[in-house]
Every structure is written in structure tokens, then in C-alpha cells.
Chains A and B, each alone.
Chain A
Amino acid sequence: MTLNRSLFLVLGALTIAVTPPGASAQEPLFERDVLPVLTKQCLGCHGGLRQKGGLDMRTMALLLKGGKHGPAAKAGDADGSLLWQRIASDEMPPGETKLSAAEKALIKQWIARGLATESQTAKDDDLLLAPGVKHDPRVVAAAIDKHIQQRLAALKREAAPRSDDIEFLRRVTLDLNGCVPTGQEAAAFLDSKAPDKRAQLIEKLLASPRFGEQLGRTWREWICPPELPSDMNGGAQPHKQAFGFGDWIGKQITKGATWDKIVRDVLTVDGQIKDNPHVIFYSLVGEGGKATPDGSARATASFFLGVQMQCAQCHDDPYRNWAQNEFWALAAFFGRTQGDFNTVTDGKAPPNMSKRGPKLPIAKGAEIVIPPSAFKNSGKAVQAAFLGGKSLDPAAEKPLRPLLADWVTAKDNPYFAKAFANRTWFYFFARGLVNPVDDLRELNPPSHPGLLKMLGNEFADSGFDIKHLVRSICNSEAYQRTSRASMKQDRQSIAAQTAAFGRMPVRVMTADVLYDSLRQVYGDPKLDLRADDAKGAAAMGQAAQIADPYIEFLRRFGTNEDDTTDFTHGIPQMLTMINHPRLLSGSKALDAFRKTNPTPEQTVEWLYLSTLARRPSASEREAAAKYLANSQNSYVGVLWMLVNRSEFLFVR
């Protein structure tokens, strides 16, 4: 840990030492100059999809960490840097295309001059908004845009143009209400001439109970592990309870509860699940369907504080500066919490943590004993303490979780507001200001430090008002930019522009949103896309696996929650959309519309509005008419075509 810190200082010193004042505009910078080359030449094998040789080159921190042969670059020493050695000798990249002489020169110079990064050189610590007061959302939106504009200017990049009304309507409806707009809603918005119709739409969507519902299930997705625990339930996974948790968060938001209130309720809940659906939080993040102190601590750190502590559970974490002690000091707050799928309560004794190991001394008061599963320091007693703060009185007998909740949700907690702001930003832009979203720390600085600080302040100063934060973001120009990317534009510059929030990304609908959208356009609340043979599966002992159409849909169409731009569907999903008979067997919503005796033209228009939130183009009208001219074909074939369009699945 100390080693890393001193390395950081050395790097910083080198950068200063070798960068002549005033020359910085010409200096190669990681984000602006180097990353595009790496993206083109290296990230295919050393990036998100593959990490050959254990090397991931996407961020400065990862480069310094390096792969199995050691760090990829040493500041100031090109010849001693693996990155330079490999590209200079043309050993890398292994294909036929090698780096050009100019690219090589750039990288050599960048290493030799000390690995300068944009985030080191940018001076955007000016918050633009005074802390301590809640501002008008339009003022916050303008400040967001100013922060982003400053960064774009520093990167010498233009922002993409504003989205058109169709893009905006569909995007904001999917994001805030989790479903495509109905045909009627789409037509009304597109035809409105009100100058502030976008702001109006945002208000309307925020006022709908669907806003809370969508945010609630998004949090459920983030919190629920990929495979829910089932040990407590005769093998059945607690899907119902997990959905109940998402619904509960949604209802709190709809009732106007602030984020600190919601988190306090989760951290202090005591009782039965029938009165408190959020009881399930503890067994979801615990082990084997039971609450564990370490599971509760990991989840609290990740979801509410935006810090990763899973490594520190077993050893000091050299990348994140967390000592193992600090992890267990946090876990000690949950040391007496006992919970399963039905209840959570603080008992007198800690839950049995000595499974598969020697008997441990019983923890007293506010302390916890590190269990054998940690493989280091097992048996050591640790006092409850707030992260980076003071320990509690060892004799404290009062309930510990409320004390922790006080600290977590305090206005001056250094993590709480930023963590929520960063996750919310990630939700809209598919990229946090800090990435991964729960990895706020010194060596992993935000791309826009001032912006994150400002959003954190504003969120705290608004009393953790969720809608205020969302309203501010959605009213910004940054959120309202187009996601269009023409073939003429260079891929790298599109990627860099998007990463700097100068253009909106194109995201993939989550399973929840896709299911709700399909249910709406087919007018079928129980839409069932399971295979025929799955319906009899309950009788074959697979009840929990595929007995419910909604659960099975979520399992099948699940997306990558760490990267919502990542297209993850494969053959089973495609075949379901292409060939499942249900998608060709009629839509009640369509039938209802047909009862108004529309013309064929109007019906096609309604289908387009209900799925893609726009009217068909002239050629699309013509193609649909041609298709429908064949007496064997019908409107549901057009609907099939629309839900199979990329334009339907993507949030653009």
C-alpha cells in the first residue's frame, strides 16, 4: 500500500520534472493522444473482451499495473518499458498492421515525458456552483454542460449535435419510465409545438409511478447476484422476494423518499419480510441465503459508498489502500445481524462464522473476530470503526447498525452522495465519472473531478433528492445530444467523444425494459416467450428454473450490467425473437387500435409510433404496403419486423 502511494508520488514528480511549463498543449496525453492508438492497435487483445497475458490497457492505472510480465510502462524510461519494447520491435501487435512511425514516436515521447494524463493536467476543480444550497435544476444542468464543455475543449473535441425529438422522446421515456412510449404519447410529443416540451416531458415522466419502478428494478439488478441464493428455500431461488425489494425501492421513490432515507431503512431494517420487503437485502448479499457480516459490509461499501472492499476481506488491498482491518471494522457493524429470506434482526450473539474451521473466540460488544475463510489474520478481533474514522467504544451494547446508518447517510460523508451521483450518471451515460462505478479512490480519479464533486454537493445539499439529480441531468445538453454516428466518422474519435460525454452512447435495453415494451405493444401483460416444452417443466422438477414467463424472460434476455452498451444477446435470444410463435400470433393493443377503423396507412403509422416512437418514412410506408398487399401477410408481420429491428432493441 505504501509502495503504491510512493509510486504515485514518484510518477507525479516525474511528470512535473519533465514537463516544461507552457509546453503542455503539445505534450502527448494519455486520453487524447495515446489511448486512441492503443484502442486501434492493442485493445482487441488487451481490453474489455480479452486480456492476453493478463494485460488490460484501457486505463492508466491498468497500464501501470501491467500483465504477467509486469507493468507495461515506466515513467520516463521508454527503453525500460515493455510497451515500448514490444511495439518498437514490431513484436506487437502480432498481425500484419504495425504501428506507424508517427504512432511509435508519439508513444515513445509520451513514456519518456512521464506518462502525462489529461486528468493530471486538467484544472476543472472549479465547481461552478456554490456548495451549501440547492440550485434550480436548470442552473445545475448548465453547470454540468460547462464542465463537460471545458473537458471537450481541453481534448480538442467537438460535441455531437442535439438529438432530434424522436431520439430524445424514446431515450428519456425508456430511461425514466422503463418502457417505449405508446403510439399516442409519441404522436402527442412529436406534434407538440411547445418550446419547453422536453422539460415538460421530463416532468411528466418523473411524476409517473413508473419512474420509481424503473429505478427500483435497476437497483435490484445491481444488487442481486447473478444466481440468487436458494439454500434456505428448498432449492427455490428467492425471485419473488428480490422483485419485492425492487418494488419497495420504487415505491419509496414514488412516495418522495430521499436516498438517505431509503438507505437508512435498508441498513437498519429489523423484522419480518411481510412488513419489510427490504429484509431480503441481507440474504441476497450474504452467503447461502443467510446474512453475513462480510457480505453486508461488501454490499454497503459497493452500493452505498462506491468503494470496493472485496479484496480487503482476505488481505490488505494494495490497489485500493484498504487494510484488511478496515474491512472487518466495517463488517463489525453487522456482527450480530442475523437474517434469512424471512427476517432480519440483531441478536445477542454473532452468527456462526466458524463453519469449516476452528472454533473462534466469541466477539464482544462492537467487535468481530475474523473468520477462517479470510485465510489471513483469522481469529483476530477487530473493533467496529467507520471507514477512515474512529473506532467505537468496545463495550457499546446499543444497536450498531443505526450508528453506521448515521455515518453513511450524513451530509458530510465523503462517499455517500458521490457514490449515488456516479451511479446515476452511469445509468444515463453507460459510463460513470469514475469507473468501475464502485471504485472511488485516489489512484482511479474521475474523468471530470469537478463535475463529480459538484453533483455530489448538489445531491447532498438537496437533501439527497433523487428526482432533483435526475431532473438536472436529463435537462442538460449532455444528455440531450444525439447518439448518431455516421460511417464517415472515424471510430476512434466517436469513442473518444462518447467517453468525454460529448455524444450519447447507444445502449441495449435491459431485460426488464424490453419485456415491458413488448408487453405494451402486444397488449399482453402475461406475454410468454418460453418454449412450449418449458411450460410443462414445473412437472419435471424444474419449477424454480423456468416456471414463470417473466423470470425466464429476464434470465434469457439479461444484459451486461457493467456495460450497458455491450450487445450480449446470442443465438437463443435471436431465435426467440425471430421464431417464437407468440410474436406472430396477434396483439391486443393492435386489435384495440383497429377498432377505431383506421386506414391501412394509419395502422402502419401507429405500429411505427408504438415501437420506434416515430412515423414511417415514405419508403417504409411503401415497403409495408407492398408486404401487406400479399393477402397472406398481415399487420402482425409488420409488428414482428418492428420488434426485430435493431432500432427497437437499442436505446439510442
Chain B
Amino acid sequence: MAMPLLHRRDLLRLSAAGLLSGVSVPWFEALARASVGRPRGKSCILLWMDGGPSQQHTFDPKPGGQFRAAPTSVPGIRIVEQLPQLGQCMRDMVLLRSMRTEINDHYDAKYLLHTGYRRAPGFEHPAVGSIASHQLAAANSDMPAFVTIDAGYDLRLDGGRSYRNVPGYLGPQHAPLAVNDPARGLENLRAAGNDLAARLELLAAGERGFSEEYALPNVSARQAAFDRAVRLMRSPRARAFDVEAEPARMREAYGNHRFGQSCLLARRLVEAGVSFVEVFHRGWDDHDGAARNMAQRAPWLDRAMATLIRDLKDRGMLDDTLIVWMGEFGRTPGNGDGHFCNAWSTMWAGGGIRTGQVIGRTSETGRNPGSTIEDRPISAVDYMATLCLALGMNIRQDFQAPGQRPVPMVDHAAQPIRELLS
């Protein structure tokens, strides 16, 4: 369905006549509602396992490995037996088993896998969430385009400094809105004091006077942003930030774990029109071996992700919502005690891509199975290009960085994984 989109200037004009006047104008409300929907386009839930999850303890088990492989709902595809619910969702999932990304340092790898670029001195590339905000989000939505959710950590906090999503040259309006705790939702969303209406009324007259005296774009932009914030506070959509509003049964289904509740919050946000949600869970840098830690993580991970896939499907949202599970690299074949960027796995689900398949293959035999790629190596730029394409972006475009320097959205050398895209 095509959404009637308002021209930015019109909306600013409307806004001047809108909330701050203290009067509700029905046609304004109607137009504003029409304009805030996300135009048909995809959204993405990025599940980021910070520190580097082990592929052999998740989606690329090997004969003789620490975790046994089990069949899934797709004949011929096997993942570890510790993830049975995900195994049942295999028809909606794709395993990318041949990631080759060249960087084994935590922070540099996080940067590379979030931006598609190596870190360069004196320069910040935009994170993929900010790119999605720039490319996919409707202007003037009453919901933010890019939200990050801190899902905490379980065992201990290692894996280096967290990547901080930056919008770089796309501009601060594409910075993420951060939820620090899924149980608390968006900070400052509720009014302090009980006289908000009276204070807003007191404010409105002065604002009107100022915007007449200073009829300038930045002044109207500020008043529009203020209106958006008030609209968000009053919007039924803002309830999306509140997982408590979800039926107990559903909260239970996602699991009583901060990661599960973060996945639930992500689903609620996407449903309310957010384009890109990054849920990050920290502490996956298993230098003492992955088996024991993964055995502890598997139950809540399996439950949350499988529920997320099923829930989106039940709501008819799975085709429009791409789920991406990954870290900055994998772990050394065998016990997984080291960083490993030569042959590791990520998992995608939904998003209208060709699911129920595996991309790439790592070695099954030899002294150290899984240490080499035998088919279709995927570089970081290939990966980024595929992700942007899967979300419906035109990847052959340049952004303008400071110094009149054109920077491609994705390196032009990228070879997207065509067999993934329908």
C-alpha cells in the first residue's frame, strides 16, 4: 500500500499549527498519522553476539566435535543438538558457513562487520543501522528509525570494547536511540510531575511568538522535534517500548532472560515501524573454551530466537523482517578458545530471502575439520552488500563524506550472495 507522504516542509508548516498551539486540529492529526507510517520496506533485527560466538558450537558442527550435530526440519542440514527449536525453524533460516573476514582483533572486526569498512584513521564510517535509518526510514515518523537494545551479559564481560554505532557523515539524526535495559524501555518517556499539560500550555504561547520572530528552518526543526517527542509520549505506538504490555504468555515464550526480552522488544519495535534494531549481548569471548559456556547459553538463545522467528511468522511479518545473528568473528575449530576469522558462520532468517539453505561449506575432514573454506568464501564487503540488498537498498550509491569525498555505501568490489536473494 502506498503511504501518502508529506513533504518535509509541509509537515514543518503543519507542525507550527499543530501541537504547540495547544489545539488539536483533526485534519492535521489525520495527515500526520498518514505520514508517519514506514513506507513498504524491510526492517532488520540484528542479534549481535559480542566477543565472537563459536560456529562449531552452533550452526556448523563437525564430526568428532564437542557438540553433536542433529537433523533439522530441512533434510540434509544439521546444526548442534543444543538448539532443537531453531532446528525446527530451519525452513525459515539460512546458514552462512563460509565467512572470511581477515580481522581477528575484537574492535577492528566489530567495526568492519558493522560498517563494511576497515577502520581508517581520522574517519568514521556509518554503521549499517544508521545506513538503514538513512535509506529505509520514513521522514517524520513518530517512531525512531534505529534502536539499539543492550541485552547485558551472562558469564563475564570480555571481548573488548563494545562497538558504538555511529552515523558518521550521514548525520546525527541517524544515530541510534539506545535502550539500556529492555525491562525499563525508553528512558524519560513518561512525564515527570503531574502538571505536564499546564506546562505545555505555558510553553506554547512563547514558542509561537518565537517562531514568528525567528522564522528560520532550524527553529521550525526544533519545534517539530519537540512535537515529535510529545507525540511519541502520547502515541499508542510508544507502548512498543514497554514489554510489560505484552501478554504474560508471550513474555514467557521468549524466555525469562534479558536476551529473550530484548528479542521481544525488538519485535514490538519493528511492528511499530522501527527500521533497524540491534540487540547486543556481550561476553562471548570464550577463551577458556566454548563448550561449557555454550551449554549454558544454548537454552535461552534457542528459545528466544526460535520464538522470534515463529512470532514474526504468525504475525505475517517474517517476510518483511530480516533476522541476522552474528558476532565479529567465529572461534577456532575444535574447542573454540581463540578468535577465528577464516571460516565462521552467521545465521539469517526471514526477510523474504531464499531460506532453508546453507551458503558456503567448511572442511569436514583433515586434522582440524572446519579450519578451511571449501566453497563460496564470503568477505565482509560481500556480506555487507548482501545485507543492504536484502533490505531493499540500492547499493551502488555514494555518500558524501567530509572533504567532498565520495564514499560508496558498500565497497564497489563487493560480490553480493545472489543465491540468497530472490
B233 touches A575 (CB 8 A): yes
**Interface locus among B31-39, B178-186, B242-250, B316-324:** B178-186
Chain A hits for B171, CB < 8 A: 49, 560, 568
Chain B 212-239 interface residues, beta-carbon cutoff 8 Å to A: 212-219, 221-223, 225-226, 228-230, 232-233
Which residues of the partner chain B approach A491 to less than 8 Å between Cβ atoms? 215, 217
Q: A623: which of B122, B144, B202, B211 is its contact (CB, 8 Å)?
A: B202
The contact of B229 among A227, A506, A537, A575, by CB within 8 Å, is A575
Whether B397 is near chain A, meaning CB under 8 Å from some CB there, is: yes
Stretch at the interface among A126-134, A448-456, A514-522, A576-584: A576-584
Q: Could you say which of A114-122, A196-204, A292-300, A384-392 contacts chain B?
A: A292-300
Q: Tell whether, in the assembled complex, residue A68 and residue B172 are in contact, meaning their CB atoms are under 8 Å apart.
A: no
Given the known inter-chain contacts A567-B218, A645-B203, please indicate yes or no for A486 contacting B213, CB distance below 8 A: yes
Q: In the complex, which of the residues A62, A565, A580 contacts B188, with contact meaning CB atoms closer than 8 Å?
A: A580
Q: Complex: how many Å from CA A508 to CA B403?
A: 23
- A531, B198: Cβ atoms closer than 8 Å: no
Q: In the docked arrangement, what's the CA distance between A49 and B217, Å?
A: 13
Enumerate chain A residues within 8 angstroms of B190, measured Cβ to Cβ.
579
Contact of B214 among A484, A532, A578 (CB under 8 A): A484
Say yes or no: is B399 at the interface (Cβ < 8 Å to chain A).
Answer: yes
B178: A residues at CB distance < 8 A: 572
Query: Given contacts A487-B212, A645-B203, are A570 and B400 in contact (CB under 8 A)?
Result: no
- Measured in the bound complex, the distance between the Cα atoms of B164 and A650 in whole Å is 29
A-B residue pair count with CB separations less than 8 angstroms: 203
How long is the Cα–Cα vector from A311 to B202 in the complex, in angstroms?
Answer: 52
State A544–B157 Cα separation when bound (angstroms).
14
Could you tell me how many residues of chain A have their Cβ less than 8 Å away from some Cβ of chain B?
Answer: 89
Complex: how many Å from CA A546 to CA B161? 14
User: Does B64 reach chain A (CB closer than 8 Å)?
Assistant: no
Q: Is B199 an interface residue, CB under 8 A from the partner?
A: yes
Cβ-defined contact, A637 with B214, below 8 A: no
What is the chain B residue whose CB lies nearest that of A294?
B121
CA distance A573 to B400 in the complex (A): 26
For the complex, would chain B's binding face be called helix, strand, loop or mixed by DSSP majority? Answer: mixed
- Residues of B in contact (CB 8 Å), total 74
A485 contacts partner chain B, Cβ-Cβ < 8 Å? yes
**Which residues 608-652 of A have a CB within 8 angstroms of B?**
619-620, 623-624, 627, 630, 632-633, 637-638, 640-641, 644-647, 649-650, 652
Nearest A residue to B191 via CB reads A579
> Would you call A230 an interface residue if the criterion is a C-beta within 8 Å of the partner chain's C-beta atoms?
yes
Inter-chain CA distance A532–B190, complex, in Å, is 13
Q: Which of B253-288 contact A (CB under 8 A)?
A: 282
**Chain A residue at minimum C-beta to C-beta distance from B173:** A570
What CA separation (Å) do A532 and B183 show in the bound complex? 13
- B210 and A646 contacting across the interface, CB-CB below 8 Å: yes
Interface pair A533/B180, CB less than 8 Å apart: yes
Q: Is the CB of A647 within 8 A of B206?
A: yes
Q: How far is the CA of A581 from the CA of B191 in the complex (A)?
A: 8
Q: How far is the CA of A49 from the CA of B218 in the complex (A)?
A: 13
Contact with B along A266-294 (1 / 0, CB 8 A): 00000000000000000001110000101
Residue of A nearest to B207 (CB): A646
Contact (A637, B121) CB under 8 Å given A494-B216, A579-B189 = no
Kindly state the separation between the CA atoms of A583 and B192 in the bound complex, as whole angstroms.
9
Measured between alpha carbons, how far is A649 from B203 in the docked complex, in Å? 14
Q: Please indicate the chain A residues that have their CB under 8 angstroms from the CB of B398 in the complex.
A: 51, 54, 68
The answer to whether B213 touches A484 (Cβ under 8 A) is yes
Q: Does B71 interact with chain A (Cβ within 8 Å)? A: no
Whether a CB of chain A sits under 8 angstroms from the CB of B300 is no
CA distance A581 to B124 in the complex (A): 34
Could you tell me the distance between the alpha carbons of A219 and B173 in the complex, rounded to whole angstroms? 24
Kindly report which residue of chain A lies nearest to residue B105, judged by CB atoms: A231
Interface pair A579/B404, CB less than 8 Å apart: no
Are B210 and A637 touching (Cβ within 8 A)? no
Q: Of the candidates A287, A483, A489, A531, which one forms a contact with B187 in the assembled complex, judged by CB atoms under 8 Å apart?
A: A531
Q: Complex Cα distance A486/B160, Å?
A: 53
Tell me which residues from 220 to 234 in chain A have a Cβ below 8 Å from any Cβ of chain B.
225-227, 230-231
Contact (A579, B188) CB under 8 Å given A484-B213, A619-B205, A637-B198: yes
Residues on B with beta carbons closer than 8 Å to the beta carbon of A640: 193, 199
Least CB distance, A369 to chain B, in whole angstroms: 17
**Chain A positions within 8 Å of B152 at CB level:** 540
Do B122 and A633 touch (CB < 8 A)?
no
A258 to B191: give the CA distance in the assembly, Å: 49
Check A645 against B216 for contact (C-beta < 8 Å).
no
A interface footprint on B374-416 (CB within 8 Å = 1, 0 otherwise): 0000000000000000000000011110111110000000000
A230 close to B161 (CB less than 8 A): yes
Closest CB-CB distance, A324 to chain B, in whole Å? Answer: 15
Whether B314 is near chain A, meaning CB under 8 Å from some CB there, is: no
Q: Report chain B residues within 8 Å CB of A570.
A: 144, 172-173, 175, 177, 225
Judged by a CB distance under 8 angstroms, whether A319 is at the interface is yes
**B177 touching A571 by the CB < 8 A rule?**
yes
Contacting residues of chain A (418-448) with chain B, CB-CB under 8 angstroms = 436, 439
Report A-chain residues with C-beta under 8 Å of the C-beta of B28: none
A569 located at the interface, meaning its Cβ lies under 8 Å from any Cβ of chain B in the complex: yes
Contact of A286 among B121, B157, B397, B399 (CB under 8 A): B121
**Contact B219 A311, beta carbon cutoff 8 Å:** no
Among B203, B211, B403, the residue within 8 A (CB) of A311 is B403
Chain B residue at minimal CB-CB distance from A562? B402
User: Counting CB contacts under 8 A, is A364 at the interface?
Assistant: no
Given contacts A584-B193, A650-B219, contact A645 B207 (CB under 8 A): yes
Pick the residue among B122, B160, B186 that contacts A310 (CB under 8 A).
B122
Beta-carbon contact of A485 and B188 below 8 Å: no
Shortest beta-carbon distance from B174 to chain A in Å: 9
Q: Which of A49, A531, A546, A560 has the largest number of chain B CB atoms within 10 A?
A: A531
Given contacts A506-B214, A570-B173, A630-B195, is CB(A645)–CB(B404) below 8 Å?
A: no
Show 8 A/B contacts (Cβ-Cβ < 8 Å), sorted by A.
A56-B400, A569-B222, A570-B172, A571-B225, A578-B188, A619-B205, A623-B202, A646-B223
5 smallest beta-carbon distances between A and B, as pairs: A574-B229, A531-B187, A575-B188, A541-B157, A579-B188
Contacts A51-B399, A533-B181, A640-B193 known; 9 new A-B pairs at CB < 8 A? A54-B398, A571-B228, A574-B228, A579-B233, A623-B205, A637-B195, A646-B207, A646-B210, A646-B214
